[in-house]
Amino acid sequence: MRPRSLAPGVTAVVLAALLGAVPAGTARAADGTGGGPSGPLPLARLFDNRGIGDDAHPERADLDGSGGSLSARDLTAAGWTPGRALTVQGARLTWPRTRPGRPDNVRAAGQSVRVGGRGDALAFLVTGTGGADVGGSGTVSYRDGTRSTYRLTAPDWRAGPAATKAVTLPHVNTPDGRLTTPARLYAVTAALRAGREVASVRLPRAAGLHVFALSVRASGRGWSGSWATATSGHPALGPWSDRTLRLVVHTSVGGPRVRLRFDNTFASAPVRIAGATVAVQAAGAGARRTPVALSFGRAPGVEIPAGAQAFSDPLAFAVPEDTNLLVSFHLPGTVPAAPVHRLAVQRSYLSEPGDHTADGSATAYTTVLTSWPLLTGVDVGGGPGAVVALGDSITDGTMSTTDANRRWPNVLAARLLGQRAVPRYGVLNEGISGNRVTAEVYAGDGISTDTSGVSALHRFDRDVLAQTSARTAIVFEGINDVRWQAGAGQVVAGLRELAERGHARGLRMLAATLLPCEGEARCTAAVDTERVAVNAWIRDAGVFDGVLDFDAAVRDPDHPARILPGYDSGDHLHPGDTGLAALADSVDLRLL
């Protein structure tokens, strides 16, 4: 039967609304909030901007109001395909399931978005098109009738920093042709009230702020971080082709279950892991028992898009505390570069060609590695959560004994395991050799020749806030800033911002004083003056919840500008094993 003609004045949109179906890009309440009689709508029902275009028809998309758009081809090359679930900063976000040239994002204008779940943060995939950071305040509504506010800021898609981006695309499409300038998308999180179930989120009113995806990030309840490391760069490798990596990592807390986290940070292309196993180390690359296979979404392997993460499925595997694990994973394709943590202070192994993940013996593992590529976390079931140490080379373990696990966070973890006065937290080492509080050493895009990481300010969300079950953060950075001519005021401003951001997410924030370094080439008297000023502020300002006076723990009482000779590794900047133990032993565990 043929449909009847529409009555005069009744549009297709009105008819669709009467039938309960609102075409994408047209759903709006009378006040412009995107709600309507049925209340908040899923984000995809509110899409009102075409930000992704086909390279052959760039005129069909217009992200920025001037004809510029993202390339669907570039997104596919990065692994960001329509409808794909991406894990970024611990949050699962779904990339829009739309064809190029169709509405695929929301211009934030106060729309009310249906989103549910309990967690520690809202997570957004966003970008801005105003030429600078753009943002505003929004509201979260919970199932119990309460509300909270949040602040969402998106860097500009072309001018924003590479250091905090989720993914960089190599081109911008315009009606006049392709521009070989990068375009960036960002993952941004905002705090939620703990334990409350989200019902909806009202977006800010912010012209030029584009939201592509939104979800609630799970809090990690039921898991404790046992080991972690920070991505310090994206250097050229090998290239490796059809190789298995067997990485040696040291646990803090143990548990009856395990899951692993792999990060494709800073990358421009996906990486494929064909299979992975876990085992307890016997010696070298040899396993105590046959390695146990992991899965990813019930599949044996996983492809990790550029800038994204992959968590393995929970595995019933008894993880011992204070023990070395072997994490093996097979890279079937050619890998010319990868995200790494450069300074492992631990020997790991690379195999001859082939999948050797199930090998219990060390025979196939003929090459020694001194870095940790791709692997960034080991979580165990249960436990009270984790303490995160955000630092530079002294936290990273420079000058400590290789394979001995004598970094100060290792010693702190052992102290926690040996007592019952406070919870036996996991300890996660997020130190990067050469890292600074306020300055970038690695910009965050492309092949890196330096692996000192992006600044602490720019990696804080990823390396602290997104860590599994983080409860307390220890900030022990700043000596590299003053050694490279930053003033105390600049370092103090950065430390204050870190404290504020941690407190906003409910973390307990501790700061450690900077160690003396007289005798090291860059540690001049002028540098020591700045260091002393930073330490005075840390001790007296009351900005942090507690102070770990590492300076007092290892300085020479007769010559406070230098490390006590018995604690000095010999380079006058880094403590040796004994000095690192003195740092850990000085920590009042009740502060954690």
d(CA 199, CA 445): 37
CA distance 526 to 518: 11
For the ranges 214-223, 476-485, 531-540, which has the lowest average pLDDT? 214-223
Is there a domain that residue 229 lies in? Answer: no
In angstroms, the CA 207 to CA 563 distance is: 53
pLDDT, one tens digit per residue, over 544-586 is: 999 999 999 999 999 999 999 999 999 999 999 999 999 999 9
Q: Which of 10-24, 29-43, 296-310 has the highest mean pLDDT?
A: 296-310
Q: Is residue 271 part of a domain?
A: yes
Q: Which of residues 165, 182, 217 is at a domain's end?
A: 217
State the Cα–Cα distance between residues 437 and 495, nearest whole angstrom. Answer: 7
Residue-level pLDDT at 490: 98
Same domain flag for 417 and 506: yes
Phi-psi region of 581 (alpha: psi -120 to 50; beta: other; left: phi over 0): alpha
278 and 250 both lie in a single domain: yes
Q: Output the pLDDT for position 220.
A: 87
Query: Which residue, 69, 42, 47, is CA-closest to 57?
Result: 69
Domain identity same for 563 and 587: yes
Report the alpha-carbon distance of residue 263 to residue 259 in Å, rounded: 14
- What percentage of residues in the chain have a pLDDT greater than 70? 94
Picking from 433, 313, 400, the residue whose alpha carbon sits closest to that of residue 579 is 400
CA dist 147 and 167 (Å) reads 32
Domain that holds residue 126: 12-217
- What CATH code is carried by the domain that includes residue 447? 3.40.50.1110
In a domain, 226, yes or no: no
Domain membership flag for residue 2:
no
Tell me, yes or no, whether 362 and 412 share the same domain.
no
Beta partners for 388? 428, 473
Regarding whether 389 and 354 lie in a shared domain, the answer is no
- Residue-wise pLDDT tens digits, 412-442: 999 999 999 999 999 999 999 999 999 999 9
* Buried b or exposed e, range 202-213, using 16+ CB within 10 angstroms: bbbebebbbbbb
Provide the edge-to-edge strand list for the sheet that holds 167-169. 106-109, 205-217, 121-128, 183-191, 167-169
Residue linked to tokens 């020997």? 347
Q: How far is CA 301 from CA 118, 294, 311, in A?
A: 28, 8, 11
Question: Considering the domain boundaries, does residue 7 fall inside one?
Answer: no
> Structural domain tally of the chain?
3
Average pLDDT, the chain: 93
Say yes or no: 406 and 362 in one domain: no
Mean pLDDT over 518-539 rounds to: 98
Say yes or no: 204 and 266 in one domain. Answer: no
Is 227 part of a structural domain of the chain? Answer: no
Over range 277-292, report the average pLDDT.
98
Task: Specify the pLDDT at position 37.
Answer: 52
The burial of 282, by beta-carbon neighbours within 10 Å (0-12 exposed, 13-18 middle, 19 or more buried), is given as middle
Length of the chain: 592
CA distance 487 to 484: 9
Residue that is last in its domain, among 378, 405, 435: 378
Domain membership flag for residue 235: no
**In the predicted structure, residue 17 carries a pLDDT above the cut 70:** no
Task: Give the other-Cβ count within 10 Å of 375's Cβ.
Answer: 24
Which tens digit of pLDDT belongs to each residue from 41-75?
Answer: 999 999 999 999 999 999 999 999 999 999 999 99
> What is the DSSP-derived secondary structure letter of residue 573?
S
> Last residue of some domain: 321, 353, 378?
378
Whether residue 147 sits in one domain with residue 202: yes
The answer on pLDDT for 2 being more than 80 is no
Backbone CA torsion sign across 386, 392, 396, 401: negative
Listed in sequence order, the residues at least 6 apart from 37 whose beta carbon sits closer than 8 Å to its beta carbon are none
Per-residue buried b or exposed e for 146-169, using 16+ beta carbons within 10 Å of the residue's own CB: eeeebebbbbbbbebbbbbbbbbb
Residues 412 and 324 in one domain: no
Query: Is there a domain that residue 438 lies in?
Result: yes
Q: How far apart are CA 350 and CA 460, in angstroms?
A: 31
Give the mean pLDDT of 220-234. 96
- Quick one: 374 and 404 in the same domain? no
Are 251 and 111 contained in the same domain?
no
Using CA atoms, how far residue 130 sits from 31, 50, 356, 415, in Å, is: 24, 16, 50, 51
- Summarize pLDDT for 143-167 with one digit per residue, the tens: 999 999 999 999 999 999 999 999 9
Whether residue 392 is found in the same domain as residue 531: yes
pLDDT of amino acid 219: 87
